[in-house]
Structure 1
Amino acid sequence: MDNDKTSDGGVKFYTLEDVRVHNMINDTWLIIHDKVYDISKFLEEHPGGEEVLLEQGGADATESFEDVGHSSDAREMLQQYYIGELHVVRKVHFPHKHAWKSIKLVCYTVIRVIMRVIT
């Protein structure tokens, strides 16, 4: 299920759906500041206990990570677990099809007014 998309620079990209499935004790991924980390091997070493990390497993842990106030050493240590970047897919919401009728009507009206002013 993991996404094999990589950039020209060799960075691997994962969707949120890719990360979500990695939420088990032997397979734990986190997102912190749109970077994806496989912290599976770090669980037992975490000073706050593995439970804290497992609660965040498969999800964006940025807020929790920052709330704790990790040291620069902890931030540096995190880099060894980096596996890629979060690929953010933005959804574009289009108005309902009936809304287009209203938009079209307004556009036609504006064009008619402009044409009257010009002529």
Structure 2
Amino acid sequence: MYTLEEVQEHNKTDDVWIVLHNKVYDITRYLEDHPGGSAILFEVAGTDATEAFEETGHSDEARKELEKYHIGDLPTEGRSKLSTFSRSFSRTTNGFD
């Protein structure tokens, strides 16, 4: 189990975690393989990226690929915070300048 606060700490170019549907993923090794480029993943690093992921309309194949990077889940009590957890970090804050 990982909290949203723990996920937020993983928002650097060499350490990228995201949350999708209450599951935590370490996508660091996937950055260079992402068909849309790594920049889009840096934008959601350390955040709940569910909305962005779903808006893009990922294929079943992409969803299956994602499972390789699943490292844990949010605790039940942390899930209620999803609507208030900030997804907006500046590139400077994330260290992507």
- TM interval, shorter chain, is 0.7 to 0.9
Determine whether 1:41 maps to 2:29.
yes
Residue 48 of structure 1 deviates from its aligned partner by 0.5
Q: Which residue of 2 aligns with 1:57?
A: 45
Name which one, 1 or 2, has greater alpha-carbon Rg. Answer: 1
CA–CA separation in structure 2 for the residues paired with 1:39 and 1:86: 16
- What's the offset of the Cα at 1:86? 0.9
Report the counterpart of residue 69 of structure 1 in structure 2. 57
Task: Considering fraction of residues, name the structure with more helix.
Answer: 1
TM-score, with normalisation over the residues of structure 2? 0.78
> Which residue of structure 1 lines up, in the alignment, with residue 70 of structure 2?
82
Aligned CA-pair RMSD: 1.3
Mapped to 1, the partners of 2:13 and 2:64 lie a distance apart of 23
Q: Which runs of 5+ in 1 are unaligned?
A: 1-12, 92-119
Runs of 5+ in structure 2 lacking a partner?
A: 82-97
The structure 1 segments of at least 4 consecutive aligned residues displaced by more than 3 Å after TM superposition are 88-91
Task: Report the secondary structure of 2:30's partner residue.
Answer: helix
How high is the sequence identity, in percent, across the aligned residues? 52
> What is the rounded CA distance, in whole Å, between the counterparts of 1:17 and 1:61 in structure 2?
14
Q: Larger RCO: Structure 1 or Structure 2 (Cα < 8 Å, ≥ 6 residues apart)?
A: 2
TM-score of the superposition, structure 1-length normalised?
Answer: 0.64
**Partner SS, residue 14 of structure 1:** coil
